[in-house]
């Protein structure tokens, strides 16, 4: 396949180089890639490296970028979900692959630069997290979930508290879900004003469907997620007033 380092919009290719998409039914080694939903408009990328708990080796991330290219350019696909297995979303970077690399190799070779592709997709990318997701919310170069627009973490998500408020700048929301309810959330929403209005409204309507302000939080009268300093209020019914958004970069 042709893979690009600079992603293009779904509507056109920024450098006019034709892109050959993975043909339907393409087998990936580390991923299961398919379209789901009644309208087949959700692109689902499931990490499929069970023996290594979905550790993000180079091969997996290269395949991920191919799948993202594929879904970004597919006009039928409205949103993309990245998920793992019941035991692990992903065990972070592949530490076996990393262990012998020198600083010079990493720095000079732009180590992990290709991970950024996820954050550049011009469609909402949702990380559906279950099981292990170590280092999910710490630092800037975290596991891939930090590059997704929404992180929907099930109650089985382990190891890390969801409400750290210390996520990468591209994360908009963390949602911990159980029984279909949104129990908690945290975010750094600075960048929300730079998103297209339709995406903002989409986010808020997503919340509206899922939100259930917990009794405990109501009593405390504080925003969900405020523990981490980056919390926001839940808006179960109405989206907040949207100020004039800045144009997309």
Ligand X SMILES: C[C@@H](CO)C(=O)SCCNC(=O)CCNC(=O)[C@H](O)C(C)(C)COP(=O)(O)OP(=O)(O)OC[C@H]1O[C@@H](n2cnc3c(N)ncnc32)[C@H](O)[C@@H]1OP(=O)(O)O
Q: Which spans of this chain sit near ligand X (rule: CB under 6 A)?
A: 52-53, 55, 91-96, 132, 134-135, 139, 141-143
Alpha-carbon span 204 to 134, nearest angstrom: 28
User: Among residues 146 and 186, whose Cβ is nearest to ligand X?
Assistant: 146
We find the least distance from the C-beta atom of residue 139 to ligand X, in angstroms, to be: 6
Alpha-carbon span 133 to 54, nearest angstrom: 10
Residue-level length of the chain: 249
We find the least distance from the C-beta atom of residue 208 to ligand X, in angstroms, to be: 33
> 4: which 2 tokens?
């690009």
We find the least distance from the C-beta atom of residue 159 to ligand X, in angstroms, to be: 7
We find the least distance from the C-beta atom of residue 134 to ligand X, in angstroms, to be: 4
User: Among residues 53 and 182, whose Cβ is nearest to ligand X?
Assistant: 53
Q: Is 129 helix (H, G, I), strand (E, B) or coil?
A: strand
User: Among residues 91 and 149, whose Cβ is nearest to ligand X?
Assistant: 91
8 Å CB contact between 201 and 238: no
Place of tokens 């523990």: 227
We find the least distance from the C-beta atom of residue 137 to ligand X, in angstroms, to be: 10
User: Among residues 97 and 217, whose Cβ is nearest to ligand X?
Assistant: 97
**Please, where are the H alpha helices in the chain?**
58-73, 95-98, 103-108, 117-120, 197-210, 215-220
We find the least distance from the C-beta atom of residue 96 to ligand X, in angstroms, to be: 5
Pairing of strands 125-129, 79-83: parallel
User: Among residues 67 and 90, whose Cβ is nearest to ligand X?
Assistant: 90
Alpha-carbon span 204 to 149, nearest angstrom: 13
User: Among residues 52 and 199, whose Cβ is nearest to ligand X?
Assistant: 52
- Nearest residue to the partner ligand X, using Cβ: 92
Buried/exposed 66-99: b ≥16 CB within 10 Å, e otherwise: bbbbbbbbbeebebbbbbbbeebbbbbbbeeeee
């Amino acid at each position: 396949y042709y893979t690009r380092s600079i992603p293009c919009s779904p509507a056109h290719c920024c450098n006019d180089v034709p892109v050959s998409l993975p043909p339907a039914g393409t087998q990936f080694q580390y991923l299961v890639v398919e379209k789901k939903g009644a309208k087949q408009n959700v692109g689902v990328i499931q990490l499929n490296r069970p023996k290594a708990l979905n550790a993000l080796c180079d091969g997996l991330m290269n395949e991920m970028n191919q799948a993202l290219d594929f879904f970004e350019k597919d006009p039928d696909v409205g949103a993309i979900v990245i998920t793992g297995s019941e035991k692990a979303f992903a065990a972070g970077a592949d530490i076996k692959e990393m262990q012998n690399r020198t600083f010079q190799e990493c720095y000079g070779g732009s180590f992990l630069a290709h991970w950024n592709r996820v954050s550049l997709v011009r469609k909402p990318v949702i990380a559906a997290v279950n099981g292990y997701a170590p280092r999910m919310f710490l630092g800037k170069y975290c596991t891939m979930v930090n590059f997704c627009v929404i992180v929907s973490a099930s109650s089985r998500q382990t190891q890390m508290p969801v409400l750290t408020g210390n996520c990468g700048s591209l994360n908009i929301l963390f949602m911990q879900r159980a029984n279909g309810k949104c129990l908690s959330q945290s975010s750094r929403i600075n960048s929300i004003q730079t998103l297209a209005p339709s995406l903002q409204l989409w986010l808020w309507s997503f919340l509206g469907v899922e939100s259930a302000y917990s009794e405990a939080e109501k009593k405390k009268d504080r925003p969900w997620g405020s523990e981490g300093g980056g919390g926001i209020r839940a808006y179960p019914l109405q989206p907040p007033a949207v100020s004039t958004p800045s144009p997309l970069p």
